[in-house]
Structure 1
Amino acid sequence: MATNLRRAAMSIALAGLTVLSAAALTAAPAQASAGALRLGEHQSLAGKIWLYYDNTSSLGSAGDEASSVFNDTEDAWVLYVDSGYRDHRFCIRSGQYIRNLHTYNFGDKISSVRRLSTRSCVGYPVFE
């Protein structure tokens, strides 16, 4: 009888862990999307959204299609026209949202992004 009770308790405990694990997996995508540089395919982050968490020297077609950006991180980011962090650039501050990159002649032109280790954009042109 005691053995059966132990088995039943073990089954209940394992079932509880399975439910807890499933809940943690469900929450992971929402947590993963927090704290990212978000590039939107269209103005006002409409259409596809590309998320960046760290330096990316070549965005491929994603950057060539980006028309909006939101910096949802604690750090400033620098957006470059050419891959390899070269040519014309703009810095976007923490929490800043640019609904229309075309206003700055920067829409559909981003080829690389660099995350700075500070909130400051000192030394870089900024979106005003």
Structure 2
Amino acid sequence: MQTPASRISASQVSHAAAHARVARKLGPTSRGALKWAQRFGADLLCVRHRLSADGATRYTTVELLVDSAPVAARATREVGLRIGVLERDLQAAARAAGARWDPAAKLWRISKREALRMKLGSRIVEES
């Protein structure tokens, strides 16, 4: 007798499993994941049990670590912000976001990314 799963192609199963609801996520040392830990070793990050939409099929998936490499530090472009002397709340917000006061230029120094995130693009001072 043919089971319903045997009539489904491998690509259909992987597609169905990818869109199935995660019922349980197990760490590599959890009960229920130990046989997978024996099979995949230290590369195993987690095991997930997923259920099909109708709940009739359980899929077991594993997450494996396949590569690791150092990330090159991204150069962050720092810009100057013009914030008024009496704008204490804005100064505090900028300081909380990592800005620092540059007394020589009389500007607040902050990464351009953070300045734009704070919607302070109009206050960026172009320096030569």
TM-score, normalised to structure 1, is 0.23
Greater relative CO, 1 or 2 (CA 8 Å, sep 6+): 1
Larger gyration radius, structure 1 or structure 2: 2
TM-score, normalised to structure 2, is 0.23
